[in-house]
Structure 1
Amino acid sequence: MDFQHTEDRRMLADSLNRFIVEQYGFDARNKIARSQEGFSRDMWRRFCELGIIGAFFDDSVGGFGGDGFDVSVVFEALGRGLVVEPFLDALIVGRALAHAGDEKQRALIAKMIEGDVIAAFAHDEPGSHYELARVNTRAARHGDGWTLNGVKSVVRQGEHADVLLVSARTSGGEDDEAGMSLFIVARDAQGVNVRGHRRIDGGRVADVSFDDVTLDADALVGNEGDAYATLTHAIGYGLVALASEAVGAMDVAKEHTLEYLRTRKQFGMPIGAFQALQHRMADVLLEIEQARSAAINAAAAVGEAGIERERALSAAKYSIGHIGARVAEESIQMHGGIGMTWELPLAHYAKRLVMIDHQLGDEDHHLARYVALARPITPNSYK
């Protein structure tokens, strides 16, 4: 496999990394993350002008990329800058619309690419425990349209999104894969109630309830009851994004820790000269490369279909979950008490790495999923 990015991807990565260093430094990022909105609309548009969202999609919907590695190169840079603007939701919502939406719905993608529309993905519910098919929100036929009722939790930027992509059950039982549907809902529609709160790693999320929300017939994305395949497709790209973002954050945590080991002195010498710390740092570097390999494998597989795609995605999410936690812990411990202080960037990278594990399924969930997807062993399995 060729691990080298194309020239276009390298140019995008260079432009994005340079912009983040020059315009989205640590102090500026923290001010944005702690603001009332939890992100900056001005910064959102400036990022979009660089072509970030356009890289997520192919030219059929107005983009210029769409490959797993296009997603990966963007989110690795966003992870290095701890960017809080809602690009993950733009990716997931856009991929769902590109996969199953009609012409009018797919037109929203172009508006997202331009930065004119902010979309939020409203799927998780209280007690869902990361299970993709566990949906209790209900949509019932009402004349030519629908009536939506239910609750969604931890909706990223749910307070300020223009539209929500909402999963709801139109038939079947709570855990049935069949019977799930997707709807585009205006955030300010009557009956949509939003209660926002801060995220521990910066930015804001919201709990969103739908009380007899009336939707037109064209709010339905794709065919009624067939949303599971669309969700699997879109969330797969979200897993690639999170794995790549984690690798970017790990690289920065590594760089900060190496710099600290070179400059912090004890007994008249840099603490990095002590063999015990050298061994620990070497282990961290090996773990980060393992996470990078898992992210590359996921990016290569996400455009395919079938069990091997899903196994590669779950393997990557499991890997970055437990490796991210170890990188966070070791980096903080090698910094000592200062590693936990608010003023030091490292503490924020550590929090982000821990929180990435809990998005779109934690390491326990994806380990169990990986095992469940394993092919049955047969007499010919080893041939």
Structure 2
Amino acid sequence: ASAEQKARIIPALAEGSLRLAFAHQERQARYDLEDVATTARKTADGFVLDGVKTVVLNADAAQILVVSARTSGERRDASGISLFLVPTDAPGLTLKTYPTQDGGRASDVTLANVTLPADALLGTLDAGLPVITQVVDAGIAAIAAEAVGLMEALQALTVDYLKTRKQFGTTIGSFQALQHKAVDMLVMLEQARSMELYATMMAQSDDAAERGPAISAAKVQVNRAARFVGQQAVQLHGGIGMTMEYLGAHYFRRLAMIELLFGDTAHHLRRVTEAGGLIDAA
């Protein structure tokens, strides 16, 4: 960002008077960050943007969108992607907003001949992908930490339920089979916690080749743990575990969304495999 952009945006962000949203995902791209079909055509006075972004979190609450668009190259080229600051009230920009399963909000953003001045460019022309990758990796580390907190709360809630719910004249937590399931939940939680700490550490690395596989490995473990802990919590609670009146159901919904956010398990397994794993062959 330029000095002028930093002076204009950072203080307003810090005081809470300005909110931004990241508009990068596109329908055809799935989780591939380099797949960008939205275009930014250079003009004498700036740029004209055309395209559609999907599932932009909290776009309806933002005043400015950080939009990725292709300024050169083909749709799936790693180079040629640039970032732009786009006001949400810009002519030609429309939002289709809807609730998400975890109680949040997201929007599909349509850009139709959105005209921007030259100073709307954020960073270097055609060099946006490394920034996008680093930001998404940091986002994965953040939601991994959130997932661990959710799993910890859900596991504690489940154990407390096992200690109080009675059936056949005794608390169901006295049944050894259910104790085993609760222990399995704890094991998966602690494995996820370990990988989340690893992701937090690696998110600070400027080496994308080292950082990327590490973040993906953490996302795989956190995803697997989130699904296991969430499903076991529902099984051990019974029907109440899926009711909207119960806090555990909301934890489970958020874990299910985190599993898909910034890439599902299969995507990140592929990313680790393509990198040759986490440990270099001696």
TM (norm. structure 2) is 0.96
Question: Counterparts of 2:99 and 2:68 in 1: how far apart (Å)?
Answer: 23
Question: Counterparts of 1:233 and 1:353 in 2: how far apart (Å)?
Answer: 23
Aligned 8 A contact 2:213 2:278 in 1:
no
Out of 275, 278, 281, which is 1:373 matched to? 275
Question: Counterparts of 1:188 and 1:311 in 2: how far apart (Å)?
Answer: 38
Residue 214 (structure 1) aligns with: 115
Residue 305 (structure 1) aligns with: 206
Task: Point out 4+ residue stretches in structure 1 off by more than 3 angstroms.
Answer: 375-378
Change (3 A) 1:377 1:298: closer
Question: Counterparts of 1:286 and 1:376 in 2: how far apart (Å)?
Answer: 22
Aligned-CA RMSD value: 1.4
Deviations 1:177-203 (A, max 9, x none): 100000000001101011101111102
Q: CA deviation at 1:308?
A: 2.1
Change (3 A) 1:274 1:205: same
Question: Counterparts of 2:228 and 2:278 in 1: how far apart (Å)?
Answer: 32
Q: CA deviation at 1:302?
A: 1.1
Out of 240, 257, 262, which is 1:360 matched to? 262
Tell me if 1:277 matches 2:170: no
| Structure with more strand by fraction | 2
Deviations 1:120-159 (A, max 9, x none): 0000011211000000000001112000000000011112
Change (3 A) 1:234 1:172: same
Question: Counterparts of 1:312 and 1:255 in 2: how far apart (Å)?
Answer: 28
Aligned 8 A contact 2:52 2:110 in 1:
yes
Tell me if 1:172 matches 2:70: no
- Unaligned 5+ segments in structure 2 are none
Tell me if 1:317 matches 2:225: no
Q: CA deviation at 1:103?
A: 1.1
Out of 311, 334, 344, which is 2:236 matched to? 334
Deviations 1:279-327 (A, max 9, x none): 1111110000000001000111111132221111101111111110111
TM (norm. structure 1) is 0.71
Aligned 8 A contact 2:82 2:128 in 1:
yes
Residue 187 (structure 2) aligns with: 286
Paired residue type of 2:220: Y
Question: Counterparts of 2:149 and 2:250 in 1: how far apart (Å)?
Answer: 13
Tell me if 1:143 matches 2:47: no
Residue 90 (structure 2) aligns with: 189
Paired residue type of 1:102: S
- Unaligned 5+ segments in structure 1 are 1-100
Residue 57 (structure 1) aligns with: none
Out of 141, 157, 160, which is 2:61 matched to? 160
Comparing 299-308 with 235-244, greater Cα deviation is found at 299-308
Out of 246, 250, 255, which is 1:348 matched to? 250
Question: Counterparts of 2:5 and 2:216 in 1: how far apart (Å)?
Answer: 29
Q: Report the secondary structure of 1:210's partner residue.
A: strand
Change (3 A) 1:321 1:141: same
